[in-house]
Chains A and B, each alone.
Chain A
Amino acid sequence: MLAFLVRRFLTAVLSVLLASVVVFGALLAVPVDPATVILGMNASPAAREALRTQLGLDRPPVERYVSWLGGVMRGDMGESLNYQRPVAGLIGERLRVSVPLAVGAALVACLLALPLGIFAALRRGTVWDPLVTSLSQLGAAIPSFWLGLIFILYFAVELRWLPASGFVPLGEDPVRWARSLVLPVLALGLGQAAVMTRMTRAAMLEVLSQDFVRTARAKGVGQRGVVLKHALRNAMVTIVTILGISLSNVFIGSIVIEQVFALPGLGRLALTAIGTRDFPLLQGEILLYAATIVGLGFLVDVSYGLLDPRIRYE
């Protein structure tokens, strides 16, 4: 198991390193001088030169990359040009919005999708299976940001049950914090639930058609035992993959949802950084998103090994 973990960990580290090269390399490819882009054409040559030095543009690219990566590993992602503050601090503040949003949405998605997907698979051949399948197909086609707008229209504008936008920190008022997250979490989570329902159903159907399930039934094991002890346990590998994909999707999806509900999270910070050409902030943010996706993939791989011994001995 240790060798399996080490191998998977090294692969994940390599992927993050390559992702850091992509992020750093892409921003090196800016076709014009970043100092001119940031300061404008009318800036004095001295001001441009000073900014070039501040950005480290006077040093060779490899040296800059190594120095940036070294900083990232120590938790220093440089300083934001727009906010004049450390990037890591800015990201840390915004994570207080984006993390509860993504985790809440993933929870909503799992709590709906797992029972619905299993239910549809067990009710194959009845009216329930096509009903759940059709609804999940329709749900997967609805963009989360449009669903967010519809929710604002009905629950905030018409019924006035929940706020249409804004965010209240947890420490300030826990009830208003929860109220400010309900609509964004539902808008993000419901679409993901639809996608996951179809995947869970397919995973369960695959397992239910296996010989060992037939054998269990032939031995007289009841439906509950077949589902809980045999089918679900064996479908867990696929379901864990679905969970990993779901968390990645909602984390990235939160970029759009934050814009709909005016939430001051990572996504809005990234869009502001593009508007102000704040390259150090963008580098830090994009690397964080990419590393999170790789990290979630690593956790899924580790879960595979824990759930299915055949995988760890491959």
Chain B
Amino acid sequence: MSDAPATARSRRTAARARGRGPGRRYNLWLGGLLIGTIVAGALLGFVWSPHPPNTMDFTAQLQPPSAEHWLGTDHFGRDLFSRLLVGARGTLYVGFIAVGIALVAGTALGAVAGFAGGLLDEAVMRLVDVLYAFPAILMALLLAAVYQPGTLTAMAAIGIATVPIFARIARSSVLSIKEREYVEAGRALGLGEGRILWRHVMPGAVGPLVVQASLSLAVAVLAEAALSFLGLGTPPDVPSWGNMLREAQGFLAMSPYPAFVPGLAIVWTVLGWSLLGDGLRDLLDPRTV
């Protein structure tokens, strides 16, 4: 009888050690909460905002927060909270598409290279090495020179620059999994190579890739904001957090709010994605605990 509470306690301790107990999940919960608010804000922006985000009001320029303008106004008298909601949409959209491109392309490249081995592996890894030499901002400079700067080139630049990390993770996971006995058993049963890779090897690589996707979303948010700040991302007529910061730069001495508000939103979102990534890693990979 007296063993029951002790067993329950030891089970809880073991779960905590594996990163599955509530005590170790604070990264996951806090990250989820931060991202949840941004997603909710972005969705809210589709149906409601206190003021039209692009409407100028020259009687209310650079106002501090008030009941009328919850987070203040910018140099054109536009409501910062409304622009923040619309900007959240673009930030999430660019991040998801860019990381989606990288996840699909990088995983495919890395998995095929790791599974096939030999010359194909060598060629793919050289390509990945070259892509490493072009971080998102550099890739955006290149694409902006060719196609003119814009949301599409920013997404492509962030996506292409993020391909190598997914390729490396997928390759190393596949390399370790393909030697396992159940893969050999699949081969002995006459399964095709494609089926073995897709049905039996790749499921084992999903965990690290999901963790990296969350961490890459944090980097993508920073990169998108930096590119918009430089004028290489979202066009100036569309509210985005990076654009808001660029416009605020000229009016810092008159009002800090146009710079504080989008900056804090970027920190909030990046922190959210990175906490979520850390939490997922604790949950999916007990070795890191």
Contact = CB atoms under 8 A, between A and B. Distances in A.
B145 A142 contact: no
* 6 A-B pairs with the lowest CB-CB distances in the bound complex, closest first: A146-B263, A141-B270, A290-B133, A141-B271, A18-B130, A293-B133
A143 B266 contact: yes
A182 interface: no
B144 interface: yes
Given A137-B271, A146-B263, A27 B245 contact: no
B225 interface: yes
Contacts of B133: 15-16, 19, 290-291, 293-294
Given A279-B145, A282-B141, A260 B249 contact: yes
Contact of B130 (A15, A138, A248, A282): A15
B146 A29 contact: yes
Interface string A219-232: 00000000000000
A290 B161 CA distance: 12
Nearest to B133: A290
A141 B263 contact: no
A110 to B, nearest CB: 20
Nearest to B231: A271
A68 B275 CA distance: 46
Nearest to B268: A141
A214 to B, nearest CB: 19
Interface of B: 126-127, 129-130, 132-135, 137-138, 141-147, 149, 218, 222, 225-226, 229-232, 245, 248-249, 252-253, 256, 259, 263, 266-267, 270-271, 274-275, 278
* Chain A interface extent, by class: 35 or more
A23 interface: yes
B230 A153 contact: no
B134 A145 contact: no
A141 B263 CA distance: 10
Contacts of B137: 252, 255-256
B108 to A, nearest CB: 20
A27 B145 contact: yes
B138 A143 contact: no
18 contacts: A18-B126, A26-B145, A29-B146, A31-B146, A138-B271, A140-B274, A143-B226, A143-B263, A146-B259, A153-B253, A157-B253, A249-B135, A252-B135, A255-B137, A255-B230, A256-B229, A290-B138, A293-B135
Contacts of A277: 145
A137 B275 contact: yes
A264 interface: no
B267 A141 contact: yes
A69 to B, nearest CB: 15
A51 B164 CA distance: 38
A29 B126 CA distance: 22
Contacts of A22: 130, 134, 142
A193 to B, nearest CB: 16
Contacts of A207: none
A145 B229 contact: yes
Best-buried of B127, B130, B145, B147 by chain A (most CB within 10 Å): B145
A157 B252 contact: yes
Contacts of A18: 126-127, 129-130
A1 interface: no
Interface of A: 11, 14-16, 18-19, 22-23, 26-27, 29-31, 137-138, 140-143, 145-146, 149-150, 152-153, 157, 248-249, 252, 255-256, 259-260, 270-271, 273-274, 277, 279, 282, 285-286, 289-291, 293-294, 297
Contacts of B232: 271, 274
A271 B274 CA distance: 30
Contacts of B274: 137, 140-141
A184 B132 CA distance: 26
A145 B249 CA distance: 10
Contact of A26 (B146, B225, B266, B278): B146
Given A146-B266, A256-B137, A290-B138, A153 B259 contact: yes
Nearest to B130: A18
Contacts of A19: 130, 133-134
A153 B130 contact: no
B141 A270 contact: yes
Contacts of A289: 138
Nearest to B229: A145
Contacts of B126: 14-15, 18
Contacts of A149: 245, 248-249, 252, 259, 263
